[in-house]
Chains A and B, each alone.
Chain A
Amino acid sequence: MSKFKKKKGGDLPAISTASLPDIVFMLLFFFMVATVMRDSTLMIQNSLPAADQIQKLDKKDRVMYIYAGKPSSRYADKYGTQARIQLNDKFADVGDVAAFVLAERASKRQELQNVLTTALKVDGETNMGLITDIKQELRKVNALKINYTTRVGEYTQNIN
Chain B
Amino acid sequence: MAKRAAPEVNAGSMADIAFLLLIFFLVTTTIETDSGINRKLPPTDEVVDPPIIKERNIFTVVVNKDNRLLVEEDIMELSELRQAAIAFLDNGGGTGEEACDYCQGKRDSSSSDNPEKAIISLKNDRETSYKVYIAVQNELVAAYNDLRDREFARLNPLAGLSYREAQNRYSDPRTSASDKAKLKPKLDEVKAMYPQKLSEAEPSKTN
**What is the interface of chain A, defined by CB distance below 8 A to chain B?**
6-7, 10-13, 16, 18-19, 22-23, 25-26, 29-30, 33-34, 36, 49-59, 63, 117, 119, 121-129, 131-132, 135-136, 138-140, 142, 144-150, 152, 155-156, 158-159
| Whole-angstrom CA separation of A63 from B34 in the bound complex | 10
Per DSSP, chain A at the interface is mixed
Give min CB distance, B162 to chain A, whole Å.
Answer: 13
Task: Evaluate contact between A34 and B124: CB separation under 8 angstroms.
Answer: no
Give min CB distance, B133 to chain A, whole Å.
Answer: 5
Band of interface residues on B: 35 or more
**What is the interface of chain B, defined by CB distance below 8 A to chain A?**
2-6, 8-9, 11, 14-15, 17-19, 21-22, 25-26, 29, 31-44, 67, 78-79, 124-135, 137-139, 141-142, 145, 167-168, 171-173, 203
Task: Evaluate contact between A150 and B37: CB separation under 8 angstroms.
Answer: yes
Most buried by B among A6, A11, A148: A148
Task: Evaluate contact between B25 and A139: CB separation under 8 angstroms.
Answer: no
Q: Which residue of A lies closest to B37 (CB)?
A: A148
Task: Evaluate contact between A148 and B127: CB separation under 8 angstroms.
Answer: no
Residues of chain A lying within 8 A (CB to CB) of residue B173: 58-59
